[in-house]
Amino acid sequence: MNYPIWDVGGLGAGLVVAIIAIIHVLISHVAVGGGAFLVVAEIWSRRQPDGQRVRDWLHTFATFFLVYTTVLGATTGVGIWFSVQLASAEAISLLIHQFVFAWAIEWVFFLSELTVLYLYYYGFKRNTPRMQTFLAGAYFVIAWGSLVVINGILTFMLTPGAWTIENKDIAAGFFNPGYFPALLIRTVTMFLLAGLAGFLVASRIRDEEFKGRIIQFCVKWVIPGAILVPGLGYWYFTTLPASTVTILAGGTVGVVGGTLSALTRMAILAGVAGTSLVLGTLVFAAYPKTVNTIAAISMLLVAQLGIMGAEFFREMGRKPYVIHGVLYSNGLWVKDAKDPARLNGPYLEKAKWHGGVASGTLAHGEQVFRLQCASCHTRDGYRSVVYRTRNWTAGFGSRWLGTMHDMGVMPPFQGDALDKAALVAYVLSLRGETVDPRDLLPDRQATAQGDDLDPDGSGQALPGLEVAGAEVGR
């Protein structure tokens, strides 16, 4: 309520953040895992009869690694900052205020990480192998340290644990119930991705014998992660809040129709991705010749799909909150929502960025949509509100808004009867129906309910009338 809305047409702000973040996750995980890969490979190269040749290959790996992580990693990282602060200014403000030192440490780590990586890269010709091993080790420790820090903030958002808005216990929030399982999952995933990146760089080696040895080395990085992730994932699942488990298990009205299908698809995607990675890696191990650029890139893409599935699952489970139990995705604080006078009073008075619209107009309804719904729904694109309200009649809409919170994935509606009427009139206008919001006020509606979908006034549609769309992405 305190910040303006970033209204992104067909995608919605949340999806823009998700797209940038998903790319960044893959890159940043390779960036940390690749550090460990470099250290171990440096040590391994010293034990090889043709150590210099291995190190030359490592130089090629480091070139790919440097460009990939510093250019793509850094730009998408900044992209996350740009997009999240526009999409959820209220949440970012809370995170910055609570974890200001963690952010500061993170930025120092990031700067040192890049510096050490450049020292390592440009030291290939000049430094002793010992010095290179040391630099690679320092790089890995710092890069992993940045995960250790950011992981506290990321997991806090879904499982704030004993942190509350009253006690603001930062240690409890940082080392929250999800912290350790998530740290381990991400760490083993990083090693896995480093091995996959190794396949890609190794795919260009011409000498079959040498290529075979490098591939065998990379295989050892992929297999442990692929085996450990499901078990660690289950441990993580046990730390999730009860409401999240309910949403993920599909026990809430409407979610069965709308969300679960997406979750199921995503869970299947993650499972299929994991299995394909193990099988693909076993094939690579047995027949190193099959490792070509396309096969190696496909493996990375499969891993990306798996990560997407897992991250989407986690994000979905956090609905309707951006910080679980504390702040709803649309900037409504849970403590404010508990105060009926505040929740049910006129909305525009409390919203700071409504563009000065006149009360009771369609423009009023549009502002209510932007400020209360647009963080999750677009008008007619991703999670389209037009599609989801296609069976609405005017009277049903207003009553439905009064019960939307019961679905478990949406915040409660904020505002009075006129706010609801304005929103419903606006939503109807999106499909070409012209209604004056004031005609939708309850006293005028009492006489005109004949064609209503919801004759008993419960806010639930008649059985058999599907209100939500089963299709995700519509």
CB of 410 to ligand HEC, least distance (A): 4
Answer for which of 35, 306, 320, 360 binds ligand HEC (CB under 6 A) is 320
Contact call for residues 469 and 255 (beta carbons, < 8 A): no
Mark 330-359 with x for binding to ligand HEC (rule: CB under 6 A) and - for no binding. Answer: x-----------------------------
Pick one of 189, 329, 367, 445: the residue that binds ligand HEC (CB under 6 A): 329
Query: How many whole angstroms separate alpha carbon 185 and alpha carbon 2?
Result: 36
Structure tokens at 146: 């940045």
The residue within the footprint of ligand HEC, chosen from 204, 220, 342, 388 (CB under 6 A), is 388
Q: Is the peptide bond before 288 cis (omega within 30 degrees of 0)?
A: no
Single out the residue of 370, 379, 383, 399 in contact with ligand HEC (rule: CB under 6 A): 383
259 lies in the site for ligand HEC, by CB under 6 A = yes
Among residues 186 and 399, whose Cβ is nearest to ligand HEC? 399
Question: Among residues 174, 312, 413, 426, which is the contact residue for ligand HEC, using CB under 6 A?
Answer: 413
**Do 410 and 388 contact (CB within 8 A), yes or no?**
no
Query: Per the structure block, which two tokens stand in for 450?
Result: 């004949």
User: Can you say whether the dihedral through the CA atoms of 332, 333, 335, 341 is positive or negative?
Assistant: negative
Compute the distance between CA of residue 21 and CA of residue 27 in angstroms, rounded to an integer. Answer: 10
385 is a contact residue toward ligand HEC (CB under 6 A): yes
Query: What region does 432 belong to: left with phi over 0, alpha with psi -120 to 50, or beta?
Result: left
Least Å from the CB of residue 144 to ligand HEC: 33
From the list 84-92, 199-207, 372-380, 438-446, the region that binds ligand HEC by CB under 6 A is 372-380
For the CB of residue 359, give the shortest distance to ligand HEC in the complex, in Å: 17
Q: Binding to ligand HEC by residue 384, rule CB under 6 A?
A: no
410 binds ligand HEC (CB under 6 A): yes
Cβ 370 to ligand HEC shortest distance, Å: 10
Q: Check residue 372 for interaction with ligand HEC (CB under 6 A).
A: yes
**Minimum distance of ligand HEC from residue 234's CB (angstroms):** 24
Which conformational region is residue 250 in: left (phi greater than 0), alpha (psi within -120 to 50 degrees), or beta? left
Single out the segment in contact with ligand HEC by CB under 6 A; choices: 90-98, 166-174, 182-190, 375-383: 375-383
Tell me the residue type at 206: R
Give the residue among 450, 351, 352 at the shortest CA–CA distance from 395: 450
376: contact with ligand HEC by CB under 6 A: yes
Among 324, 364, 377, 399, binds ligand HEC (CB under 6 A): 377
Nearest Cα neighbor of 459 from 314, 348, 474, 410 is: 410
Q: Which of 30, 116, 296, 468 binds ligand HEC (CB under 6 A)?
A: 468
Distance CA 71, CA 67 (A): 5
**Cα–Cα distance, 336 to 315 (Å, whole number):** 23
**Does 409 help bind ligand HEC (rule: CB under 6 A)?**
yes
Sequence length of the chain is 474
* Residue 254 in contact with ligand HEC, rule: CB under 6 A: yes
Query: Is the alpha carbon torsion for 437, 443, 446, 447 positive or negative?
Result: negative
Measured at the alpha carbon of residue 271, what is the angle toward residues 268 and 273, in degrees to the nearest 5? Answer: 105
| Dihedral angle of Cα 169, 92, 175, 155, to the nearest 10 degrees | 140
Least spacing, CB of residue 178 vs ligand HEC, in Å: 20
In angstroms, the CA 279 to CA 233 distance is 20
CA distance 42 to 132: 8
- Minimum distance from residue 199 beta carbon to ligand HEC (Å): 37
Closer CB to ligand HEC, 233 or 408, in the complex: 408
Gap between the Cα atoms of 198 and 43, Å rounded: 16
Does 371 contact ligand HEC by CB under 6 A?
Answer: no
Binding segment for ligand HEC among 75-83, 137-145, 250-258, 443-451 (CB under 6 A)? 250-258
Contact call for residue 375 and ligand HEC (CB under 6 A): yes
Whether 38 contacts 387, CB under 8 Å: no
Query: Smaller CB distance to ligand HEC: residue 187 or 414?
Result: 414
Which residue, 219 or 322, is less far from ligand HEC as judged by CB? 322
Q: Are 447 and 357 in contact (CB under 8 A)?
A: no
Residue at shortest CB range from ligand HEC:
468
Residue 467 binding ligand HEC, by CB under 6 A: yes
Backbone angles phi, psi at 166, to 5 degrees: -85, -50
Q: Which stretch binds ligand HEC (CB under 6 A): 116-124, 179-187, 203-211, 257-265?
A: 257-265
**Contact between residue 103 and residue 96 where contact means Cβ atoms under 8 Å apart:** yes
Between 258 and 288, CB nearer to ligand HEC: 258
* Footprint of ligand HEC (CB under 6 A): 254-255, 257-259, 319-320, 329-330, 372-373, 375-377, 383, 385, 388-389, 409-411, 413, 467-468
